[in-house]
Amino acid sequence: MPEQLLDVRPVAGSLGAEIFGADLSRDDSNQAYDEIHQAFLDHQVLFIRDQKLTPPQQAAFARRFGPLNTYPFVEGLKGTPEIIEIVKEPGETKNFGGVWHSDTTYLDCPPLGTVLYALEVPPAGGDTMYANMYDAYDALSQGMKDLLAPLTGISSAALRRSGGRSAGMGKTSKMKASNLDKADSIVAEHPVVRTHPETERKALYVNPAHTIRFKGMTEAESKPLIAFLCAHAVRPEFTCRFRWDVGTLAIWDNRCVQHFAINDYHGARRRMHRATIEGARPY
């Protein structure tokens, strides 16, 4: 066996690890990528500090995991349209992603993963929290697992619980929003419990941002169970919290992780570049 190239250090009991010894600006060896990919499957979210990446370099790293897709509601960067810039300006009070969620579950094929790179961070605050949906599912009673097994969740892009997609994107943000008028019509159906195609583990796949009801049920009928599952999914023992530095890159597995961008840095600027990796239809 070849000597391990990278140092992988867990950051919490449930999920998350920091990677040391990687320079993502280079075309890294297949061994380095294989170690990162295995850590990705083992820890669900990885943090790699002290990187200096151009948008094409970030996109090239993300493509090691698969083709990239484009986010439907923000225009991509010129020359690298698969990457969007996420900005909260000092005068804004709303942020992007400030609710527990899995990315774009309202798409028929939600992303496999998300790659986020920090360009500007506030002097304090602006952390991101992550939650392990494997552990959330495993901790349910057998009776609840049996109840959820046949259920299908309906996900919507409308962000109605946040006041609508336009309000959620921020009215004064410099982010180049697009297609906001189409959000109400973008809906997808996915199993409430999905099976990870690589690990074959089961994960809870319901989130408060996008899951509006269960198939065959009204929103009112669905609401109590959705509320229970969403609260259960982010119990502290299933989570980790990460403090960003400029030059930090994170990659997380959207198939088994939820995340929450904490909005506690009013008066400061936070700027990130995000790429998402194409995924398959959940099953």
What is the set of active-site residues? 101, 103, 259, 274
236 backbone dihedrals φ, ψ, rounded to 5°: -55, -35
Question: Counting Cβ atoms within 10 Å, is residue 279 exposed (0-12), middle (13-18) or buried (19+)?
Answer: buried
**Closest to 250 (Cα-Cα) out of 25, 55, 17, 67:** 17
- What are the tokens at 254? 């959207």
Which residues, at least 6 apart from 72, have a Cβ–Cβ distance to it below 8 Å? 104, 107, 157, 178, 179, 182, 186
The set of residues, in sequence order, having a beta carbon less than 8 Å from that of 189 and lying 6+ positions away, is 152, 153, 154, 155, 215
| Cα–Cα distance for residue pair 9/14, rounded to 1 Å | 13
Give Cα 203 distance to the centre of its chain: 14
Backbone CA torsion sign across 205, 209, 214, 220 = positive
SS3 231: helix
Instruction: Write down the residue that tokens 């002097």 correspond to.
Output: 123
What whole-number distance in Å separates Cα of residue 59 and Cα of residue 129?
Answer: 23
Contacts of 279 (CB under 8 A, 6+ apart): 66, 109, 110, 111, 112, 113, 254, 255
Distance CA(253)–CA(135), nearest Å, equals 14
Report CA 82 to chain centroid distance, whole Å. Answer: 16
